[in-house]
Amino acid sequence: MCNEAATERKGGIYIHTPFCVQKCLYCDFYSTTNLSLTHDFLSALKTEIKIRKSAFQEFDTIYIGGGTPSVMPPEQTEDLFETIYKNFSIVPDAEITIEVNPGTVDLPALKRYRKIGINRLSIGVQSFSEKNLRFLGRIHSAPDALKTVQEARNADFKNISLDLIYGLPGQTLKSWEADLVKALEFAPEHLSCYMLTYEPDTPLTSALNKKHFSPLEEKKTGELFMATRAFLARNEYLQYEISSYSLRGIFPSMHNRKYWSFHPYTGFGPSAHSFSGSIRSWNHRSVTLYIEDLKKDQLPVENKEVLNREQKIIEAIYLGLRQTDGIDLKNFQTNFNRRFEEMFEDVVALLKNKKYLEIDQGRCFLSPQGMLFLDSIAGMFSGTDFYLK
């Protein structure tokens, strides 16, 4: 299922739409609620696309993320796609995704998306419970969510992904499973089930720090994670990444995979990141700085970095372990001139002993239990002296 050879040289295009009707309480992605800037943003975005125009690189994924891309009027999205198609070579069967939020799209808009070539929808449902939606600060209601998913099918989308969040305060296994059951009614091709994380500088985290609510106990969160895997597996959704599940394993997000597999991608819009294979660069976070730069016809790049060997190793491990396929050990040895098992002998032994990690058929991957500790385990690898050896 890992068709790397075919996608190896093809790139991904990411477009960050920095607008939201309202900021969700837990979200730390960059967005603004000043919708009056959409027009200027679009012309800046088109300028950036023209500057970054590439004749050689072929692209097989496009991902319009945000923010809330669906707050842009559909005719603006159409205008954007014309510019993309004019300046980049997109392969015929490319995966083209747009994120939409319930309450910001209707059937005509969805039909229009479909017409301009968008073939995958990622719907920010998050939950089908009114209480949870209010806690997260979402603008939509449970019926809104149901309506959007239904309309997506009506608009003939054959590849739909639903975003769900779990691990909310007070959440029980039963209430979470109710969300999953509801989601499966529409037989989406893909599910992203995110564990709620308290990111610094978000209203939710500050409420947590002020003890306005108590978070779900770690043990429960762990149980929900394990239950999610099991429940979805029973229903033919296979986990291929820590938060990602695909129906019968045939609809993984090709675009997200590029991030985890060191494939090249080009990001447009404020705070978007690009990766060339060794250089990462990123745009200004602020939409006004972004627009200003592009008015002067200059790239809105805030900074870039060239990855050194040590950094590449840390990323290879962190990103590899996110995926159920894990780290390809032969690849690792080719790239870094040393055997992975030798470089991390102690840590690997410790993790294997604890049954958090397995090595099998040339791959090193986390067990489901191990996945729960991904961040800490990545810290164990990066905390050792591997670069000295």
Partner 1 sequence: MLNIRNFSIIAHIDHGKSTLSDRLIQHTNIVSERDFKDQILDSMDIERERGITIKSQSVCLPYKARDGKLYSLNLIDTPGHVDFTYEVSRALASCEGAFLLVDASQGVEAQTLANLYLALEHDLEIIPVINKIDLPSADIEWVKSQIEKDLGLDPESAILTSAKEGKGIEDVLERAVTLLPPPEGDPEAPFKALIFDSHYDAYRGTVVHVRVFDGRIKAGDTILFMSNNAAYKVEEVGVFQIIREPRKNLSAGEVGYIIAGIKTVSDTSCGDTVTLKQNPCEKPMAGFKEAKPVVFSSIYPVASDGYPELTLALEKLKLNDASLIYEKDSSVALGFGFRCGFLGLLHLEVVQERLEREYDLSLIITAPSVQYEIGLSDGNVIMIDNPAMYPDPAGIEFTREPFIRASIIVPDRYMGTVMTLCMDRRGLNKTYQYLTNNRLEMIFELPLAEIVYDFYDKLKSVTQGYGSFDYDLLDHRETDLVKLDILINGDRVDALSQLVHKDRAVERARLACDRLRDEIPRQMFKIAIQGAIGSKIISRKTISAYRKDVTAKCYGGDISRKRKLLEKQKKGKKRMKMVGQVMIPQSAFLSVLKTDD
Residue 345 region by backbone torsions, left for phi larger than 0, else alpha for psi between -120 and 50, else beta: alpha
Of 21, 146, 359, 380, the residue at the interface with partner 1 (CB under 8 A) is 380
Of 188, 267, 300, 320, the residue at the interface with partner 1 (CB under 8 A) is 267
Binding to partner 1 in span 213-252, by CB under 8 A: 218, 221-222, 225, 242-243
Q: Is 194 in the site for partner 1 (CB under 8 A)?
A: yes
Of 72, 123, 232, 272, the residue at the interface with partner 1 (CB under 8 A) is 272
How far apart are the C-alpha atoms of 28 and 307, rounded to whole Å? 25
Report yes or no: 81 and 117 within 8 Å, Cβ to Cβ: yes
| Tally of residues, the chain | 389
| Token pair belonging to 37 | 């800037």
Stretch of residues binding partner 1 (CB under 8 A), selected from 3-11, 123-131, 195-203, 291-299? 195-203
Stretch of residues binding partner 1 (CB under 8 A), selected from 68-76, 246-254, 293-301, 367-375? 367-375
Q: Is 274 in the site for partner 1 (CB under 8 A)?
A: yes
Question: Based on CB atoms, which residue is closest to partner 1, 252 or 267?
Answer: 267
Size of the site for partner 1 (CB under 8 A): 53
Tell me the closest approach of the beta carbon of residue 272 to partner 1, in angstroms: 5
Question: Based on CB atoms, which residue is closest to partner 1, 187 or 233?
Answer: 233
DSSP symbol at 71: G
In angstroms, what is the C-alpha Rg of the chain? 21
Long-range contacts of 341-348 (CB under 8 A, 24+ apart): 343/313, 343/386, 343/389, 344/381, 344/384, 344/386, 346/384, 347/380, 347/381, 347/384
| Token pair belonging to 2 | 């890992």
Furthest CA-CA distance within the chain: 60
Q: Find the helix or strand (DSSP H, E) in which 357 lies.
A: strand 357-360
Binding to partner 1 in span 53-112, by CB under 8 A: 65
Of 88, 176, 231, 265, the residue at the interface with partner 1 (CB under 8 A) is 265
Question: Based on CB atoms, which residue is closest to partner 1, 218 or 342?
Answer: 218
Report yes or no: 83 and 49 within 8 Å, Cβ to Cβ: yes
Closest CA to 108 of 58, 166, 152: 152
Question: Based on CB atoms, which residue is closest to partner 1, 106 or 223?
Answer: 223
Residue position matching structure tokens 């529409």 = 186
Tell me the closest approach of the beta carbon of residue 370 to partner 1, in angstroms: 9
Question: Where does this chain bind partner 1 (CB under 8 A)?
Answer: 14, 16, 29, 65, 194-197, 218, 221-222, 225, 242-243, 256, 258-260, 265, 267, 271-275, 280, 282, 305, 311, 314-315, 318-319, 346, 350-351, 354, 356, 371-380, 382-385, 388
